[in-house]
Amino acid sequence: MTNSLSENPAHDIHDIIDVQTTDCCIVGGGPAGAVLALLLARQGIPVMLLEAHKDFDRDFRGDTIHPSVMEIMAELDLSDRLLALPHSKIRQLRIQTAEDSLTLADFSHIKTNYPYITMLPQVKFLEFITQEAQKYPSFQLIMGANVQELIITDGVVAGVRYRGGGGWHEIRAKLTVGADGRHSKLRQLGGFESVETSPSMDVLWFRLPRHPEDAEGGMGRIAKGHILVMLDRGEEWQIAYVIPKGGYQQLRTAGLEELKKSVVAVVPELGNRISNLHDWSQVAFLSVESSRVKRWYRPGLLLIGDAAHVMSPVGGVGINYAIQDAVVAANALAKPAVGIAKPLKNQNLQLQDLAKVQNQRELPTRIIQGFQTLIQKQIFTRILTSDETFQPPAFLRLPILRDFPARLIGLGLFPVHVQI
C-alpha cells in the first residue's frame, strides 16, 4: 500500500499531473545536492535534482570553497575551469582587537595544492556544477519544485510529491536524498530527531563597497560587546555582524542609524561607505543554530549536508562538510564492492549502504561542531557578554596549536576522495 507521511494531503490523487521514475531523487540544489547529482550522473545512474527556487541566486549564502573541495574538484578535472571564474583568495583568517592582531588560521601551512579559501559566489559554483552535470544524459534538473510529501510504500520511502509547473507531480525513486539545507523539509517529513550541539547565534548580514586600497582576504574585528567578520568578495565586503542573542528587535527599535554607528565604531575605515546602507531591506537577519540528527537515514531516504547536521557559521565550514558528505554518499552508492554490483545502479541498495555514509561522516561532523562550540563559548560569548577588553586564548598564540584550526577548517579531519 502506498501512502504519504502527511496526515492531511493537500491534494487528491487526481491532481497529479505526471509521474516520473528515477534511481535517485535528490531534494535540494545546494552544494551537497548538486555535487552528489554530478557524481552519480557521471556513473550513468539516473538522477533527478529538485530545487525549490527558480534560480540559484540567494543573498548571503556562503561563498567559501575550502581546500578540501578544491582537491575534490581536481580529482574530477574541474579545478582549473572553476578557478577561471572570477574569484578571490583568502590565505589567512585574522582577528583584530583594539590592542592586538592575531592570525586565527594560516592556510599556507597545510599540505594542499590549494592553500587558501576560494571566495566564489555560490550561485556561480552551483551553475558551474549543474552545467557540468547536464553533459550526462542520466541527469535531470527541475527548478521550482517545492517538495511537500514523501511517498511511503510498506515503510520504505519510495519518492516524493512536489508542487511546481502548474500543479502536483510525483517522482518514484529507489533512493531519495534530502540535501535541502538547515530548514530541511525532508528532515521534518521523515520524522528525524535532532540534538542541539551549541547555542544559537544572531547574525546580521549585509554588504558594503570594498575599495582598492582595502586589505585583501578575510578578517574579524572585535570590540567590547561586538564581533564583525568581513569577507572579501572583490568589489564588495560581505559582512557578518554578530549581536547578542535576542538583540535584533532592540536594534531595530533603535533604528538603522544606530546600527551604522555601531558598525563604524568597530571598523572605523567603513565610515566613508556606511551611507550605502540606507534601508533595513539590505540587512538579512539570521538566527543560526548548530545541531545534527541522531540517525541520517531510514529505508529509502538519506540526509546529507545541513539537512543532517546544521553547522554554526564559525569557520564557514558548512559547504566544505556538505560536499564531503556528497562524495562519501556517491562512493557508497555507486562504487561496486568486490563481487557485488553497484548498489544503486543495479537495484541492490541496502540499508547498510546508507549507514556507511553516517559511519564515515559522523565523527568528523562531531569534531568540527565541538570545535565550533569551543570557539563560540571561549571567544564569541565572552566578547558579547563581557565589558572587559577581550584577550585571545593563549592556545591561539602557540604555532603548533595554531596550525590545527587551519587544517580542521581547510581540509577537515580526514581526507575525502572520489572513488568512482
Task: Give tens-digit pLDDT for 15-69.
Answer: 888 899 999 999 999 999 999 999 999 999 999 999 999 988 876 567 889 999 9
Angle ∠(10,4,348) on CA atoms, nearest 5:
140
The pLDDT of 207-215, averaged and rounded, is: 87
pLDDT tens for residues 294-339?
A: 999 999 999 999 999 998 888 888 899 999 999 999 999 997 665 5
Nearest to 409 by CA among 186, 218, 272: 218
pLDDT for the residue 65: 93
Is the CB of residue 92 less than 8 Å from the CB of residue 217? yes
Q: Any bridge partners for residue 50, and if so which?
A: 27, 142
DSSP E strands in 63-193: the ranges are: 64-65, 88-90, 92-96, 101-106, 117-119, 139-143, 146-153, 156-164, 167-178
Higher pLDDT: 216 or 318? It is: 318
Distance CA(241)–CA(291), nearest Å, equals 22
pLDDT(1) > 50: no
pLDDT(182) > 60: yes
Percentage of the chain modeled with pLDDT above 70: 88
Cell representation of residue 194: 535532532
Percentage of the chain modeled with pLDDT above 90: 50
Alpha helices in 12-52 (DSSP H): 31-42
The pLDDT of 150-163, averaged and rounded, is: 95
Half-sphere exposure of 382 (CA within 13 A, CB side): 14
pLDDT(11) > 70: no
pLDDT tens for residues 255-308?
A: 999 999 989 988 888 999 999 999 999 998 888 778 999 999 999 999 999 999
Distance CA(240)–CA(201), nearest Å, equals 11
**SS3 category, 276:** helix
Higher pLDDT: 343 or 210? It is: 210
Right CATH number for 2-90+105-196+289-410 from 3.50.50.60, 3.30.420.10, 3.40.50.2300, 3.40.50.10420? 3.50.50.60
Higher pLDDT: 104 or 279? It is: 279
pLDDT tens for residues 362-405?
A: 999 999 998 888 878 777 777 776 666 666 666 666 666 667 77
Buried b (16+ CB within 10 A) or exposed e, 1-23: eeebeeeeeeeeeeeeeeeeebb
- The structure's pTM equals 0.89
Amino acid at 275: S
Averaged pLDDT score across all residues of the chain: 86
